[in-house]
Amino acid sequence: MDEFLIAVDAEDRPLHAVEKMNAHREGILHRAFSIFLFDTQGRVLLQQRALGKYHSPGLWSNSCCGHPRPGEDTGAAALRRLHEELGLRCALQPVTAFLYREAVSEELVEHEYDHVFVGIAHGLPQPDPGEVREWRWLALPELHRELARAPAHFTIWLHRIAERFGPEGLGAWRERALTAH
């Protein structure tokens, strides 16, 4: 079954629906989201992408990522994918949005207007094995050390988020999630 995404302009204004694989093959700018979940101790939840994923298989990434469907609110899509991928439900808060373009293979490009959400996870993930191979909690300082020490083990978008917002930005997101909790 074809999955459709929302092609957008550089200001995140919707243009038209685009088939998911075409968007990634052609590098079409589309709307996406990234979720960073924290526990009550302030550790971030990372997931290792399933080995069967069409790009970036086996790489570690932030808690959850995805795309809203045409006509779907981005926040509602983030809640949907969080439950589909990790079996978790929690309140999410938007913290920022940014545009990036990166090759994820020789054939595929992520060109996304990425909306970032944060939340506090209650309970343990029950991941869909077709989406998530493993998961773990990690303190933010350790995340930044691991990104520097073993960059090839992490998704390109997690690198771009960590570079763009830095330890201070991710720390502020953690505090925002904990305070709202």
Active-site positions?
Answer: 65, 112
Q: Is residue 19 marked as binding?
A: no
Within 10 A of 82 (CB to CB), how many other CB atoms are there? 24
The burial of 12, by beta-carbon neighbours within 10 Å (0-12 exposed, 13-18 middle, 19 or more buried), is given as middle
Q: Is residue 110 marked as binding?
A: yes
Q: Please say whether the beta carbons of 10 and 36 come within 8 A.
A: no
Within 10 A of 121 (CB to CB), how many other CB atoms are there? 22
Q: Is residue 85 marked as binding?
A: yes
How would you classify the pairing of strands 132-138 and 30-38? unpaired
Query: How far apart are the C-alpha atoms of 119 and 34, rounded to whole Å?
Result: 11
Which amino acids are annotated as binding site, given as ranges?
A: 24, 30, 67, 85, 110, 112
Which amino acids are annotated as binding site for Mg(2+), given as ranges?
A: 85
